[in-house]
Amino acid sequence: MDPEEIRKTAESMVHGMGAVVFGVADLGEVTDESGEVSLSGLTTGICFGCRLSDVVLEGITDHPTRTYQYHYRQVNTLLDQIGLRLATYIQNLGYRAFPVPSSQIVNWDRLTGHVSHRTVGRLAGLGWIGRNNLLVNPQHGARMRYATVMTDLALPADEPLEDGCGGCRACISACPGGAIGEEPGDFNLEKCKETIEEIRKPANIGSRICGLCVKACHGKR
């Protein structure tokens, strides 16, 4: 089957399951830190993203809500289902494919996943890394979650977008921890982590979530 045709089929499958963005990045060799899977030869990253519910995000005022926690898990499950379907489709064509979990941490010292969805998404043209350190999609802002399928199937790749925060600074004032600075490179991860530890206490949230810089970011509107 022609790679162009496979890409079209994959894209419509992913859209049919609820993702709103789809892109392909030619990554070269990627190392997995889990020690449990080898990504050797899996140089294509297919990234896709689903929107978060505006209704849920609007319910967040100064700390993450239990509803946001539930929703975050639901969207992760949806992304994992899409990744599984896509990886199964590719494997059945005779290639190797790994559905990278939407939110699994594999290195607890450095807090990293198998593969960074933000990096793959940026290289696949789905958005830019914003002042809030998130992948910002022009249409949906940072109100999105992502997952990736790594494969040795070579597909026509996309190009990164131009960075686009421009004059917007909405996330800077929204962050309760002062973690967001003038430039994306100024983002202070330590401050963010400390704030998340505090901010999730009022509603007794088990997951490391916050949601305020997600809610604030609408992209270009």
Nearest distance in Å: CB 1, ligand B12: 29
Contact 50, 78 (CB under 8 A): yes
Q: Which of 42, 82, 210, 216 binds ligand B12 (CB under 6 A)?
A: 210
DSSP 94-158: T--EEEE-SS---BTTTTB-SS-HHHHHHHTTS-EE-TTSSEEBTTTBT-EEEEEEEES---PPP
Contact 63, 74 (CB under 8 A): no
CA nearest 218: which of 102, 54, 48, 28?
54
Number of shown-chain residues binding ligand SF4 (CB under 6 A): 24
Q: Within 124-183, which residues bind ligand B12 (CB under 6 A)? A: 129, 132-135, 142, 144-147
Cα–Cα dist 69/83, whole Å: 21
117 binds ligand B12 (CB under 6 A): yes
If contact means CB under 5 to 8 A according to the sort of partner, which of ligand SF4, ligand B12, none does residue 117 touch? ligand B12
If contact means CB under 5 to 8 A according to the sort of partner, which of ligand B12, ligand SF4, none does residue 189 touch? ligand B12
153 binds ligand SF4 (CB under 6 A): no
CB-nearer residue toward ligand SF4: 20 or 170: 170
| Token output for 159 | 């190009």
CB-nearer residue toward ligand SF4: 46 or 144: 144
Q: Which of 21, 113, 130, 150 binds ligand SF4 (CB under 6 A)?
A: 130
Q: How far is CA 138 from CA 100, 126, 141, 144, 183, in A?
A: 24, 8, 6, 11, 18
Q: How far is CA 86 from CA 17, 150, 170, in A?
A: 10, 10, 35
199 binds ligand B12 (CB under 6 A): no
Q: 3-state DSSP call for residue 87?
A: helix
Which positions lie near ligand SF4, rule CB under 6 A?
130-132, 136, 141-142, 165, 168-171, 175, 177, 179-180, 192, 195-196, 210, 212-213, 216-217, 219
Which positions lie near ligand B12, rule CB under 6 A?
72, 102-103, 105, 111-113, 116-119, 122, 129, 132-135, 142, 144-147, 184-185, 189, 192-193, 196, 208-211, 213-214
